[in-house]
């Protein structure tokens, strides 16, 4: 099977899953965390080099404060519980986005987990936190501008590779496949630059119900695609 090197997943449907079962939205997020574990393990076992999960967007701050607080607490809990597991399974942890806006305790946990798994050589697991694709491009432009001003660079000679060096995903493989659960047909500000020539796979399955068989279907569909890159 021709596997994608880098998969990005828009994990959608936690709230709808909970509503269907007459449960609080928080329970949908908790079930979604279980899906994260099984899909991460499955991707690592199949030799995927990088997995990026759309975990918390810049727009998600608009949700009720109680729900946001619960999400932050669950993220802390997940990092505490899974750091040793990531080390054991040779996973390297990464986080992208405007991380400075996250709660201080969560930022420290992220920093510690990145450091503790930095020597691992297996799949890179990236959580997109307080992330937005447009915001990422703005931050990249700011980074280039600051460097140009400091070093006296001629920005008229800049190309795509130069900009990519300032993106949050610098150093990760090209994004080959974007999976979106819950049937929605949009990117929702996720990896806008990186997904320019990615393949897309959308399933009606809600994220908490997305399992290894669902991942296999996505990989099988990816294998059938003829990637043209505009050619």
Q: What's residue 1's pLDDT?
A: 66
Q: What is the pLDDT along the chain (231 residues), one digit of tens a residue?
A: 689 999 999 999 999 999 999 999 999 999 999 999 999 999 999 999 999 999 999 999 999 999 999 999 999 999 999 999 999 999 999 999 999 999 999 999 999 999 999 999 999 999 999 999 999 999 999 999 998 888 887 888 889 999 999 999 999 999 999 999 999 999 999 999 999 999 999 999 999 999 999 999 999 999 998 777 665
- On whether residue 146 sits in a domain, the answer given is no
- On whether residue 49 sits in a domain, the answer given is yes
- On whether residue 195 sits in a domain, the answer given is yes
Dist. CA 27–CA 80, nearest whole Å: 19
Q: What's residue 107's pLDDT?
A: 97
- On whether residue 92 sits in a domain, the answer given is yes
Backbone angles phi, psi at 76, to 5 degrees: -60, -45
The side-by-side arrangement of strands in the sheet containing 92-96 is: 92-96, 124-131, 50-57, 6-10, 177-180, 199-202
Question: The CATH number of the domain where 209 resides is what?
Answer: 3.40.1180.10
Say what the alpha-carbon torsion angle 32, 81, 212, 173 is, to the nearest 10 degrees: 100
Prediction pTM value: 0.95
60 in catalytic set: yes
- On whether residue 145 sits in a domain, the answer given is no
Name 53's bridge partners.
9, 127
Q: What's residue 229's pLDDT?
A: 63
Q: What's residue 13's pLDDT?
A: 97
Decide if 180 contacts 204 (C-beta within 8 A). Answer: no
- On whether residue 216 sits in a domain, the answer given is yes
159 in catalytic set: no
Q: What's residue 26's pLDDT?
A: 95
**Structural domain for 26, as ranges:** 6-131+175-221
Catalytic residue among 14, 22, 60, 120: 60
- On whether residue 148 sits in a domain, the answer given is no
Catalytic residue among 12, 82, 130, 176: 12
- On whether residue 1 sits in a domain, the answer given is no
Domain count, the chain: 1
Question: What tokens appear for 169 in the block?
Answer: 């995903």
Q: What's residue 153's pLDDT?
A: 77
């Amino acid at each position: 099977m021709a596997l994608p090197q880098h998969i990005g997943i828009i994990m959608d449907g936690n709230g709808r899953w909970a509503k269907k079962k007459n449960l609080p939205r928080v329970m949908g997020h908790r079930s979604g965390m279980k899906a994260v574990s099984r899909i991460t393990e499955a991707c690592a076992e199949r030799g995927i080099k990088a997995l990026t999960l759309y975990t918390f967007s810049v727009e998600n701050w608009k949700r009720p404060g109680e729900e946001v607080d619960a999400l932050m607490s669950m993220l802390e809990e997940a990092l505490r519980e899974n750091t040793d597991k990531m080390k054991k399974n040779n996973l390297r942890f990464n986080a992208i986005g405007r991380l400075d806006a996250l709660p201080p305790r969560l930022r420290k946990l992220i920093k510690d987990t990145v450091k503790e798994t930095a020597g691992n050589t297996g799949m890179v697991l990236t959580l997109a936190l307080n992330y937005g694709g447009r915001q990422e491009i703005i931050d990249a432009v700011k980074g280039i501008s600051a460097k140009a001003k400091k070093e006296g660079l001629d920005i008229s000679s800049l190309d795509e590779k130069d900009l990519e060096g300032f993106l949050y995903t610098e150093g990760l493989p090209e994004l080959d496949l974007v999976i979106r659960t819950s049937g929605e047909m949009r990117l929702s500000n996720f990896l806008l630059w990186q997904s320019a020539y990615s393949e897309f796979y959308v399933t009606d399955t809600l994220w908490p119900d997305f399992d290894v068989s669902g991942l296999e279907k996505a990989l099988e569909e990816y294998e059938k695609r003829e990637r043209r890159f505009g050619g």
